[in-house]
Structure formats: C-alpha cells, structure tokens
Chains A and B, each alone.
Chain A
Amino acid sequence: MAEKPKKPQELVQSIEYKPPRKRWMDTPVEFHKGTFNYSAAVDKLKYLDLPYPRKWQPTEEDWQLPDNWQEIIHKGFKDRLDKYRSFRVFMDICVRCGACADKCHYFIGSGDPRNMPVLRAELLRSVYRNDFTTAGKILGGLAGGRKLTVKVLKEWFYYFYQCTECRRCSVFCPYGIDTAEITMMARELLNLVGLNIDWICTPAANCFRTGNHLGIQPHGFKDSIEFAVDELEELTGVRVNAPINKKGAEILFVAPSADYFASPHYYTLLGYLALFHEVGLDYTWSSYASEGGNFGLFHSYETMKRLNSKIYMEAKRLGVKWVLGGECGHMWRVIHQYMDTLNGPADFLEVPVSPITGTKFEHARSTRMVHIMEFTSDLIRHNKIKLDPGRNDHWRVTFHDSCNPARAMGLIEEPRYVINHVCNNFIEMPENTIKEQTFCCGSGSGLGTDENMEMRLRGGLPRANAVKFVHEKNDVNILLCICAIDKATLPPLLEYWVPDVEVGGIHEMVGNALVMTGENERLTDLRGTPYPEKEGGENV
C-alpha cells in the first residue's frame, strides 16, 4: 500500500482526475502520507499492559494480526453490544437520512465521502449486520452486511482515527446518534488486536507513570511551576505562592499538563497563578495528579479509568475539600460525564464552596469538581477581583467553543461572561460555527500530531474559515479557547489558514487584566509584549 511512483504517462492521464464511481464497500482505503497516524511504540503498550504489542506500520501490507483476530473482534463486538445500550441502539436505528452527513469538519474539509458521520458508522454497522442480525446473516450484502476482512479492518483503522469524537454530528441527528460513541467502540475493538496509534498510547503511558503527557519527572514539574512563579514576578512584581503536594490545602487544582510546558498554554498558567494568589486561595498543585487531560478517553474505558483514578486518589491523600479543574476540553468530558461513575463516589470530599464568595457549587454536588470558568465567573460576579480590561486592548478577541465543554457539558455562557469582563473587544464568530454547533479544531482525540498534518489542516478548515471571516471583517487578532489540545493545535492551523491570528487561553486574559495588590505598573502583557506607551509617551 506504500505509494508507488507513477510513470509519467500515467501521470498525464491522471491529471484529468475524476474519482472512480464505486460503492464504498468495494473501495479499499489507501494510506496516503499525511492522513494517518503511526502505530504505537511497543514499550508504551507493554507499560500499559495492552494486548499484542508489536512493531508494525499502517503502510505495511502485513499488520501481523494475531491468528484468531476475527474471533477476538467478534467477541469484543458482542461484548460491547451487551454492555452499552448506546452502541446497540445506534447500530440498529440509523435511517440514513443524511442529516449528519455534511456536519463533520473532516467531510467538509476533505470531501471524502467516508468521512460523513453516517458512513463512518456504517463501516462498523455493516459488520454488525453481517454478524449479529438475522437479515444480514441471510441476505448478506443485500441487507447491507459485509464480512470482517483485513481490508475492512484497515478501513476501520483509517477512518476511526479520522474522527475527533467531537459530537457535532450528534447534535443534528434526529435520534442523537453519536458517532463519537461509535468511534470509541471501534477504537476499543482495534486495541483488542493491538492496533493503536502512538500519539494516544505514548502520552497515556507517560501520564500513567509520571503524571504528565511528556513523561517529565516530579522535580521537572516542580521546576516548571517555580520557573513560572519567577517569571510572573518579573512581569508583575508580585511573588506568588504555588504549593505542590501540600497536605491539608482546601482545594486541589488540576490542569492539563501542557499548561506547564507548552506555548501558548503557559501564559494561561501564569494567569491561574496570579488569580489564585490575588484571591488568597488555599490550594495545592499535585505532581502525581498533574495531568487533567485524559488520553485514555481516546483509547478505551479501561485506560480512561486508570488515568482518571489519580485525581480522586490524590485528593483523598492530600485531604483537600474539593477539586478545581483548569482549562481543558477532553479533560472536562471525562470529569463531567465519566469521573464520578468511573472512580466515585467522592464521599471523602465536600460539596464545593468558593472560599472567597461563599457560593456553593450545587451543580457539582456529587462529583465535587468545579471548572475554573465557573469559579472565575463567580468571582467576577461578586466583584471579588479588580480588573482592568484595558490591558487587553491590544487584542481583538473571538472565542472558540471547544467541542467537549460545549457538547458534553454545556459550558457556554461562563467563558463568555469572563471574556466580556476582561476584554473590551470581543467579537463572536458566525452562529453556525460556535456554541453547540462549534467546529472542531480538527486535531482532537489524539490526532494532534505532525504525521497527519494534512488531514488536520483539512479538518480544521471550517474552524479556520470562520476565524478568517472575523479576522478580515473585524480585525480579530486572537482566538481564545479553553482547551489544551486547542492551544496546541490551533496555532499551526491558523498559521496555515489565517496567519496573523494568535491563540490564547481565557486565563491569560484574566492574568493580563487582573489588578494585583502591590503590583508594579505592567509594562508588558504576560507574553512579554510591551504595551504601547501611555499618553505623554512618544506617540501612538
């Protein structure tokens, strides 16, 4: 399946390229460079005790499947049908009305029909019909069934690692069929026969071992936080306290680990540090549970649960009252919809109460973990912090709703409330590209790596296109978001499609606007970009 160089003559003929008209079931996939992910490293798979670790690559002909792979998948399939009503119902009830078809950013950006959510699901459904329904067993192809062959398996691998589990399709489906859910099942099945991708399994193994996706050891984590404290002091003149692994603190704070190491995440970290100091929060970081993001969500129920377990265990060990979570999308999918079920009940914690405003976060009564947007908007609402939004006047901002907070949580107004208080120039993107209809960054769910950059750029086109619109029309120059994956993957996306628009987190803006007691006059924003001279200066 590797790309063969074509003869010049063939090339000339293929210029008038019109794709062949064939039924999708009869068209095998081709692994073009730039559209797929590499297989997972053997040592990481072993570290996580995942099945059938081996060296292989998607472009190879032979994937070295275990001999009884069909049996394994059949059994795994049945198992999951019996365990998940969602899966069984979604396999049965799609009417192929096509309402979801053009809602997927990958389809919109690539035009590949198998990227229509309905067809992505049909890849699995066709096998379901063949193996598990009477009609399929009797009528086979006529009933839309097909046998599970290596070709089909390759197709699964290709297309289920081209779904970012963003749930946009599910918003438009009359039955709420959620292709993300189907993708999760498919990825679990692929894992059963050892087909994994590296950008999911390596971070997962690293998080499991060291607590962050890069595999940085505890002292490195501490260094990072201390470095940020130093830098914040340079910028503001205020030395903040950032306790790590402190027993008896009131609150455990968990952020995605990219916030400590990556740019532009880092400026959000500065924002958190400044805010917590200013309101005098009694909190602690943890080096053990230093990753809120959960790569297990993209892999399997088990891996998700294993990674997630750390947060509650650490909260218990440190004896905190409740947990506060930072800006991250898939982290919040797990915390909001899965954590309590997976690793609860959190009866050793208390119902979260903001120590500053006294607000009881009733909506987190059971899970006992609060989103930082909820926390900060509550602070602002109660006038507990002094803000100077003028310090963000060099930014004309728009806001990208990350898929998970929007469609798996409903966190829509809180971030907007905060932005409106810390920035003077906030412009929304068009209605059909934000809130519950938001377009994915195109790189979520473990697909944000460089080997599939072309695919990501295609998938990100709808998002970038809307950014471009407000950039051209309203001079927007920064795209805010509350997700670590977004902060990592939107910059390259925009660099390609809309150069001149930066990416940042909301708490970076909070940090800029926050007037801290005893601070020096801010000469630069948190990025170190000098503010224009005030009146009386040279000129503007």
Chain B
Amino acid sequence: MRRKNVVPNALAALALIGAAGTASGQHLTAEDISVLAGVCANCHGPDGHSRGAIPGIAGKPYVAQLALLQAFKADSIPDTTVMNRLAKGYSDAELDALARHFSEIGK
C-alpha cells in the first residue's frame, strides 16, 4: 500500500538512472549478473520464487522492480526492514541488471 505511492516518483527518475548506469561504464557480463543475483535467493527463494512472508521477485515487471530497488536505495520507503540496507550496496547499473534478471524469470 505504501509502496504504490513510491512507484510513480521513482518512475520519473528512471530516465536519469538509465543514463547514470551507462555513464558509470560498469560492464556486467551475464555471469557477473548471475553471481550478483545469487544472494537474493537466500531470502526471496530459489530464482526469486518465494514461499514465505518475503515477497517473491521472479517475473515482477522490470520497470516496477527497478523503481522499488531504487526507492530502497534512496531509503524512501518508510518502514522497510532490510532492503534499504542491502540496496545501498549496489551500483545503479547493478540494480538495473538485477531488476532485468528477475523480471525475465518465469513466475
């Protein structure tokens, strides 16, 4: 519920983020991305398929997922328990790659 308000804001920022990701020049191979995504499974379930209280992230649309990850990084989602602390550990290019990776996994 709280999150619904955040998405449009973060959507507006997406153009900028895309630019920053490219500008950072960080080159991520498919293997790099699969390694980055490895730890997400520890909480969100294998390949992001969750069975528990933590939301699943497999097949969640790229744009919405990236918006959430950026909002976590900016600490703009009140009452977040842990994703803010984790998202701050990734560059914009990495968050972009992660959002794309999980969005492409079948639900």
Binding partners A and B: no
Residues of chain B touching chain A, judged by Cβ–Cβ distance below 8 Å, are: none
Residues of chain A touching chain B, judged by Cβ–Cβ distance below 8 Å, are: none
